[in-house]
Chain A
Amino acid sequence: MNIQPFGEDALLLSMENEISAEVNNEVIRVYKILKESDLFSFLIPAYSSLTIGIDRTQYTIEEGTQLVKELSGNATIEQQKEQRLITIPVCYEVEFGLDLEEICRSNSLSKNELIDLHCSINYKVFMLGFVAGFAYLGSVPSQLRSSRKVTPRKSVAKGSVGLAGDQTGIYPVEAPGGWQIIGRTPVHMFNTKKEQPNLLYPGDLVKFRSISLEEFKIIQIKEETGIFELEVEHV
């Protein structure tokens, strides 16, 4: 673990430079402790790093560094063992999954195999970024690995579920993007009317469930009227 100044008002805590659940678990552990302490002006957890905002009217960079070291090294604060496991319904129909057929071809999978694989495991939220509420989930089964689109789309619809490299993710809002789109969720991933607008947080677990077009429409209506109940387990 290495801590260095980042700009004048932040610190960058870097772990081993790799994308792995192990390294990211450590990032999330420190993130949760620092968030709980409420002493820092902002926190940006990423795959293998944590950007920590220091309120310079309160602390010098040295004091901030010391504080982070003390808090993160405090072994008595146990990592919250319980994680949320959130089930996200996804419709994999071709009208939503614009790149589904292409991925099936390039990865030699049938449509059903692709869906089964995508729904087969629990993914971890490594970080949020790119646009507000965009969660980077990993890691996908190796048969689903895919490269980004050569030419990114100018606009990807809200709720689109995509693949890129080892990752999968959901576009919370309409945005430009180069991920391979395989389906769409009717669930609002980012709801500006809520005090906590994003559905997913770093450290959460996510499972996908394949739904029909009809169920998509039903959930969509339920979401609009605010009566949809998301499946959340604590594991």
Chain B
Amino acid sequence: MSDSLKIRVQSPGMFTSLQDLGRNGNQDSGVPFGGAMDKESHKIANELLDNQRSEPTIEMTYLGATFEFEGEGQIAITGADMGAKLNNNPVAMYKTIDVQNGDVLSFGQAQLGCRTYLGVKGEWQAPKWLDSFSVVSNLTDLDGIPKPLKKDDELEVKILSFIPNRKYPIGSIPVYSSCHIIRVITGPEFERFSIEQMQSFFQKVFTVSPDSNRMGYRLEGELKDYVTKREEISSGIVEGTIQITKSGKPIILTADAQTTGGYPRIANVVRDDLSRVGQMKAGDEVKFMLVNLSEL
């Protein structure tokens, strides 16, 4: 048994980065919350490996990466199905998998869902910034901040022990589709909207714009007869805040969103549906459902 598993990036895919639970507590400095877009899948990957909650996983976006392993270790794959292959043979998701020296793990394109998580058993040896491994998508050029993975990067995970292989209950594995019903509670400026605008927000089927990323999901489709009366005074934003932009289109703010904004906040995605939002991809359809905070 070697002391560490090395992971070499053969091809990085579309946007592949280490992500953990993010940076809570630095928002008064304007630092985004960050962390995995689908924290549920990220957590499951670590649980399948009996890792500490604070360990990162590799987050892949829409088009997956290819990795080569040096040493022996254990991995788990969760989130969207990117047709993962180990040495060209299909490999199961949502369970612990053993990898050997020289193994090549490759991912293709997500058919349903958008983000896949690769967990590795052990302690990640990677740079942290403000106590987190997470890449911040609009601060990738700065020294001292973790960077997205690129070809030939080498990652290292310290192996402490092996565990008997685990499997996530089949019935609990999330099933993705290209139509999403996202539960929301009302936002701070909800009552500034007219009844017709509120109704159209909940009746319309919105489409995810290709201009969506870790900072936010832009949606196509406008609120009925929307005219901005005036700009709001910039105020705080949390993960899942939905703003209505000048053109009447909603934008769902996600992990790497800026911490303040000036568009009216019509609603907020409920915590349990945030991970679902992180699995939406361009072209998917979205409908919002209003729930009551007291029911949650």
* A interface residues, Cβ below 8 angstroms from B: 4-10, 12, 14, 17-19, 31, 35, 41-51, 53, 61, 127-134, 136, 173-175, 190, 192-193, 196-198, 201-202
Contact = CB atoms under 8 A, between A and B. Distances in A.
Interface residues of B, number: 42
B234 A132 contact: no
Contacts of B289: none
B235 interface: yes
Contact of A8 (B32, B139, B258, B293): B293
B293 A131 contact: no
B30 interface: yes
A132 B130 CA distance: 12
Contact of A18 (B136, B142, B233, B268): B233
Contacts of B30: 128-134, 198
B259 interface: yes
Contact of A7 (B129, B141, B240): B240
Given A6-B268, A8-B271, A47-B235, A192 B145 contact: yes
List the 6 closest A-B pairs by CB distance, nearest first.
A51-B236, A129-B260, A44-B236, A192-B144, A7-B268, A128-B30
B211 interface: no
B24 A10 contact: no
A18 B233 CA distance: 7
Nearest to B231: A165
A197 B142 CA distance: 12
A202 B28 contact: yes
Contact of B234 (A10, A12, A47): A47
A5 B130 CA distance: 28
Contact of B138 (A5, A61, A175): A175
Nearest to A192: B144
A224 B235 CA distance: 34
Contact of A129 (B129, B234, B270): B234
Given A41-B25, A42-B27, A130-B30, 16 more contacts: A4-B188, A8-B271, A12-B188, A44-B260, A51-B27, A51-B235, A128-B29, A129-B30, A129-B260, A131-B30, A132-B30, A132-B31, A132-B32, A133-B30, A190-B142, A193-B143
25 contacts: A7-B271, A8-B293, A12-B236, A14-B188, A31-B28, A41-B24, A41-B25, A42-B33, A44-B28, A44-B236, A44-B237, A48-B235, A49-B235, A128-B29, A129-B234, A129-B260, A130-B260, A131-B139, A131-B258, A132-B29, A136-B234, A192-B139, A192-B143, A192-B144, A192-B145
Nearest to B33: A42
B139 A132 contact: yes
Contacts of B240: 7
Nearest to A46: B235
Contacts of A193: 143-144
A131 B188 CA distance: 22
Given A51-B236, A193-B143, A193-B144, A44 B185 contact: no
Nearest to B138: A131
B175 interface: no
Nearest to A43: B28
Given A130-B30, A197-B29, A8 B270 contact: yes
Contacts of A45: 28
A227 to B, nearest CB: 18
Residue from the set A6, A17, A48 with the largest chain B CB neighbour count within 10 Å: A6
Interface string B244-261: 000000000000001111
Nearest to A193: B144
A60 to B, nearest CB: 11
Contact of B260 (A7, A46, A53): A46
A4 B238 CA distance: 14
B195 interface: no
B241 interface: yes
B188 A133 contact: no
Contacts of A196: 29
Contacts of B258: 129-131
A6 B240 CA distance: 10
